[in-house]
Amino acid sequence: MVESLDELQIKLFADGANLNEMKTMSNLRHISGLTTNPTLMNKAGITNYVDFAKEALEIVEGKPISFEVFSDELSEMCQQGLILNSLGENVYVKVPITNSFGIYTHEVIAELNKNGVKVNVTAVMHPLQVIKVLDSFDVAIPGYVSIFAGRIADTMRDPIPFVKETLKVLADHPKIEVIWASPREVLNIVQAQDSGCHIITATADILKKLSFINYDLEKFSLDTVKMFLNDAHKSGFSIS
């Protein structure tokens, strides 16, 4: 069992699009990088992508951050990736494993790597998908592969074998780090670490729960009872 944050070997990335939360997370010593995506940006009310990205880059102060392309056309993905890359040396460009038609984006990955762009291949669900784009990676260029382990688990499949197999697939690409994406609970951090994953990215809501590492369970039980009692009183409930 992990007794404290200092025992974690896996890198923690904060996932979000709220600039205030991103600043708070980035200032924490145990947060090594940040990620975002168009869905989170939409929920946060972001209307100007480039302005948001520039503000976020000022906040993270050199830590790696991933911004995602959103075109469905492969050529336009490349153009967007080059623009995002130009915003900062610590930018990783998120490229989905396929577009919405299921066309694999190996051409985009190869073209961006050719131009020195660090790519984060996202929305990956199976190691076979990684095999299909494996030859696109330039072994000299750092990058990430984001396995959506939480979504795999939503299908009642254990994501750990998928992660381990992906690590084997990428064995000859030491500069490509595997990210455990879309976690559902703090326990996933331990699972990701034990699977050999390099990074786990999680929302602020999950990362805030790190304060409960090794928390006394009897006290946790009492805290929960008090919460139920306080909320019942606030609601003005009665049983009669």
Residue 62 lies in a domain: yes
DSSP string, 172-208: T-TTEEEEE-S--STHHHHHHHHHT-SEEEEEHHHHG
Residue 221 lies in a domain: no
For 51-64, write each residue's pLDDT tens digit: 999 999 999 999 99
- Is-catalytic flag, 226? no
Q: How many whole angstroms separate alpha carbon 77 and alpha carbon 63?
A: 24
Q: Looking at the DSSP assignment, which residues form a beta bridge with residue 202?
A: 14
Catalytic residue (one of 23, 43, 63, 94): 94
Residue 140 lies in a domain: yes
CATH number at residue 20: 3.20.20.70
Q: Write down the pLDDT at residue 238.
A: 87
Mean pLDDT for the chain? Answer: 96
Q: How many whole angstroms separate alpha carbon 104 and alpha carbon 118?
A: 18
> Which of 143, 205, 128 shows the shortest CA–CA distance to 174?
143
Q: Please give the tally of structural domains in the chain.
A: 1
Per-residue confidence at 226, pLDDT binned at 50, 70, 90?
A: very high
Q: Which residue segment(s) compose the domain that 100 sits in?
A: 5-213
- Above pLDDT 90, what percent of the chain? 94
Mean pLDDT of 29-43: 96
Instruction: Say how many C-beta atoms besides its own lie within 10 A of residue 20's C-beta.
Output: 11
Per-residue confidence at 5, pLDDT binned at 50, 70, 90?
A: confident
DSSP string, 57-113: HHHHTTS-EEEE---SSHHHHHHHHHHHHTT-TTEEEEEESB-TT--B-HHHHHHHH
Residue 51 lies in a domain: yes
Q: Looking at the DSSP assignment, which residues form a beta bridge with residue 6?
A: none
Residue 23 lies in a domain: yes
Q: How many whole angstroms separate alpha carbon 18 and alpha carbon 50?
A: 15
DSSP string, 125-159: --HHHHHHHGGGS-TTS-EEEEE-HHHHHHTT--H
Q: Which residue has the tokens 């992906």?
A: 166
Task: Report in angstroms the alpha-carbon separations of 126 from 45, 77, 116.
Answer: 32, 22, 26
Residue 101 lies in a domain: yes
Mean pLDDT of 57-75: 96
The overall pTM is greater than 0.85 = yes
Residue 126 lies in a domain: yes
For 77-118, write each residue's pLDDT tens digit: 999 999 999 999 999 999 999 999 999 999 999 999 999 999
Residue 239 lies in a domain: no
Question: Looking at the predicted structure, is the pLDDT value of residue 41 above 80?
Answer: yes
For 119-144, write each residue's pLDDT tens digit: 999 999 999 999 999 999 999 999 99
Angle CA 185–188–189, to nearest 5: 110
Q: Write down the pLDDT at residue 47.
A: 95
